[in-house]
Structure 1
Amino acid sequence: MSLSGKVAIVTGSGQGLGLAYARELARQGAAVVINDVNGETANQAVALIESDGGRATAVVVPVGSTEAARALVEGAVEAFGRLDILVTNAGVLRDKSLLKMTDEDFDLVINVHLKGTFTCVREAYAYFKEQGIAGRIITIGSPTGQRGTFGQTNYAAAKAGIVGMVRTWALEMKKSGVTANTVIPVAATAMTRTVPYFQKAVQADDRGQAMPDFFRHDLGFGTADDVAGLVAFLASDAAGGITGQVIGAGGDRLQLWTHPHAAATEYRKGGWSYGDLQETFTSLFEDKLQSVGEEFLPLPEELKPEPVEAH
């Protein structure tokens, strides 16, 4: 097995996408530290991996603080003797439009997603350097962090920030052989279950059937297991030369995202005054302005959601 002898931490892995990543890492031979805020959920995930023939243990802490990050690394070393892989998946949502979003809504999401990624990676990297391990760091991003989504100021900031940190870490960790990458999953989750657009895909998945090709191919939308293979690959020795990358996975689709670059460049001797910009900006850049948000394809007639009956 490709990850035999390796030890992985997957934060937020009691259920959903995180559990799918943990199960796939275990299938490939890694021992896995399951993390969740709910002890019963974490223990059920451990039992599931063990019933698959894998090895797992649970560390029940809310991700965010340095103390939680330290407990995760210490838990891996105490249970399995080492640490090789960190997957930072833990997250929460507090979706509200800007004027309705409270400080508490913003701070909670930033603390778990962004600070939690920072503290866990810092702790894992310190261990990797101390032990001379060419470890693997896999952070989880989102299309929202790449493109923006209405009502997700906090989540967009956190996910975009994670990508910025990963690019920096790729530079800082290169000499030690540690890699850092971001995975952008596009998969059925508790959140997408509530979106009418995805109704037919979720219903097919619930029946144990393959999602329609429109979702899997045209939209690149699938199951958690469709993303798990990429996570396991990036954790392997085969991915030792891949770092600082943002890679999307969903359904039948795999995407390598570009890093931001200038879409257009113009020069003016002496610089650009207010008057210069008033006069020339539109003619220079109007057709090059960048779009925001995700644009979904129109649903084929047979895949449109069924109307909800009023009671």
Structure 2
Amino acid sequence: MVHAVDLSGRTAVVTGAGRGLGLAYARALAAHGAAVVVNDVDAEAAEAAAKLVREAGGRALALAGPVGPSETADALVHAAVAEFGGIDVMVTNAGVLRDTVLWKMSDEDFDTVVNVHLRGTFTCVRAAAVAMRAAGRGGRVIVAGSPTGQRGNFGQTNYAAAKAGIVGMMRTWAMELARAEITVNALIPVAATAMTRTIPFFAPHVEALERDGVALPDELRKGEGFGTVEDVAGLVVYLASAESAGVTGQAIGIGGDRLALWSHPQEVAVEYADGGWSAEAIAAAWPATLGRAPETVGMPAPGEGQ
């Protein structure tokens, strides 16, 4: 018999929870017993999401505000403590897109995405870590990465930089917070959302799902690991639970029918030269050594979705 995951007595903050993945996370956490502080930059969306949670029998409080500023992060943690007695789980989901190729990307395009994703994750996790450490009862931090941050994607300089940075911070925080029994992990989700609707390959499937309720085909659910937002929520609940106490510092992919563990960057080939490497020596050695199997970029990775 499968053991039921119980989050009773825990409080979670979910940023960007007015719709899409964040809403699915908030609803799943509440369904498993957690109280939830629902954040979104859109006040009406945040309140509507909190209402959905309450109507389903859960406990939820809406708090609107843009992530990035420390004031928003502090307010979210304060609300969790004041309304529900503490904070046990921080889920940093909020995000925006400003896609364009490098030579057309403005400073504003770059700064907006980095501020929301990277700085927003930093300020929210910092505020949560301060409160969790002071309470002394451990905690769970779940941050949002992306396949784009892992492998790059055409037209997403800002998003790739922010998402790669988030996973880098996650590894550091997993070490820094281990003594306080606070785990830190990154989701690498792939799901039908407003963001993935902008990708031509996924767009017709997302539209058919949203408009007509057409189920995603197996070649997407298994081949691409692409599913609904609800398919991702189970991993968030697991990582928020007592059952995941031994899991930290990991980047975990989920989507459709696929659950995957992403590797950390590591050396995959090494060569040595007595006295070091000159430019000429590298040029001579490269084709027959490190250059034989160069790393690939972009999505999907070779062997995935094919």
Superposition CA RMSD, Å: 1.7
Matches within 5 A, 1:118-267: 118-206=122-210, 207-267=212-272
- For residues 237 and 185 of structure 1, what CA distance do their matches in structure 2 show? 22
Q: Which residue of 2 aligns with 1:65?
A: 69
Provide, for residues 238-288 of structure 1, a one-character-per-residue CA deviation record: whole Å limited to 9, x for no partner: 000000000000000000000011110111111101111121112112222
- For residues 242 and 257 of structure 1, what CA distance do their matches in structure 2 show? 14
**TM-fit CA distance, 1:79:** 1.2
**TM-fit CA distance, 1:194:** 3.6
- For residues 199 and 242 of structure 1, what CA distance do their matches in structure 2 show? 34
**TM-fit CA distance, 1:96:** 1.0
Provide, for residues 49-100 of structure 1, a one-character-per-residue CA deviation record: whole Å limited to 9, x for no partner: 1111111001111100111110000011111111100000011111111111
**TM-fit CA distance, 1:212:** 0.9
Q: Which residue of 2 aligns with 1:303?
A: none
Q: Which residue of 1 aligns with 2:93?
A: 89
Q: Which residue of 2 aligns with 1:278?
A: 283
- For residues 239 and 108 of structure 2, what CA distance do their matches in structure 1 show? 34
Q: Which residue of 1 aligns with 2:40?
A: 36
Q: Which residue of 2 aligns with 1:114?
A: 118
Letter in 1 for 2:68: G
**TM-fit CA distance, 1:209:** 4.1
Q: Are 2:270 and 2:290, in contact at CA under 8 Å, matched by a contact in 1?
A: no
TM-score (norm. length: structure 2): 0.94
Q: Are 1:139 and 1:182, in contact at CA under 8 Å, matched by a contact in 2?
A: yes
- For residues 254 and 208 of structure 2, what CA distance do their matches in structure 1 show? 19
Matches within 5 A, 1:74-85: 74-85=78-89
**TM-fit CA distance, 1:20:** 0.4
Please give the secondary structure, in 2, of the residue aligned with 1:175: helix
Residues matched between the structures, number: 300
Distance 1:299 1:60, change over 3 A: closer
Q: Which residue of 2 aligns with 1:304?
A: none
**Structure 1: gaps (5+ residues):** 301-311
TM-score (norm. length: structure 1): 0.93
**TM-fit CA distance, 1:200:** 5.0
Provide, for residues 16-63 of structure 1, a one-character-per-residue CA deviation record: whole Å limited to 9, x for no partner: 110001100000000000001111111100111111111100111110
**TM-fit CA distance, 1:299:** 9.6
Q: Are 1:117 and 1:139, in contact at CA under 8 Å, matched by a contact in 2?
A: yes
Q: Which residue of 1 aligns with 2:49?
A: 45
- For residues 3 and 250 of structure 1, what CA distance do their matches in structure 2 show? 23
Letter in 1 for 2:181: G
Please give the secondary structure, in 2, of the residue aligned with 1:182: strand
Letter in 1 for 2:96: V
- For residues 2 and 220 of structure 1, what CA distance do their matches in structure 2 show? 27
Provide, for residues 114-138 of structure 1, a one-character-per-residue CA deviation record: whole Å limited to 9, x for no partner: 0110111111001011110210000
- For residues 203 and 189 of structure 1, what CA distance do their matches in structure 2 show? 10
Provide, for residues 221-252 of structure 1, a one-character-per-residue CA deviation record: whole Å limited to 9, x for no partner: 00000000001100000000000000000000
Q: Which residue of 1 aligns with 2:296?
A: 291
Q: Which residue of 2 aligns with 1:309?
A: none
Q: Which residue of 2 aligns with 1:305?
A: none
Please give the secondary structure, in 1, of the residue aligned with 2:127: helix
Q: Are 1:25 and 1:32, in contact at CA under 8 Å, matched by a contact in 2?
A: yes
- For residues 291 and 98 of structure 1, what CA distance do their matches in structure 2 show? 19
**TM-fit CA distance, 1:298:** 11
